[in-house]
């Protein structure tokens, strides 16, 4: 039973990763861009990235 449960959770995580891939890459590249521009403490701004429904980050 445990193996079935762990396998089910693994599939759910893989599906979530696929669905969030675009957002995660967009956020990562913005972080890298901020570091390269010399900002010591990069800040996440969902409005600048065009990410909707991220009100808890404001």
Residue 58 pLDDT? 66
pLDDT tens for the chain, 58 residues: list them.
999 999 999 999 999 999 999 989 999 999 999 999 999 899 888 888 888 887 777 6
Residue with tokens 């995660």: 24
Residue 45: the pLDDT is 86
Task: Tell me how far apart the alpha carbons of residues 35 and 15 are, in angstroms, rounded to a whole number.
Answer: 30
Is the torsion defined by CA of 12, 14, 17, 18 positive or negative?
negative
Report how far residue 35's alpha carbon sits from residue 32's, in angstroms, rounded to the nearest whole number: 5
Which residues, at least 6 apart from 31, have a Cβ–Cβ distance to it below 8 Å? 42, 44
pTM for this predicted structure: 0.68
Domains of the chain: which residue ranges?
A: 20-58
């Amino acid at each position: 039973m445990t193996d079935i449960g762990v396998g089910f959770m693994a599939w759910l995580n893989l599906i979530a990763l696929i669905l969030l891939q675009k957002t995660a890459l967009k956020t990562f590249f913005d972080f890298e861009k901020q570091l390269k521009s010399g900002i010591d403490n990069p800040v996440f701004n969902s409005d600048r990235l065009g990410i909707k429904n991220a009100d808890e980050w404001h």
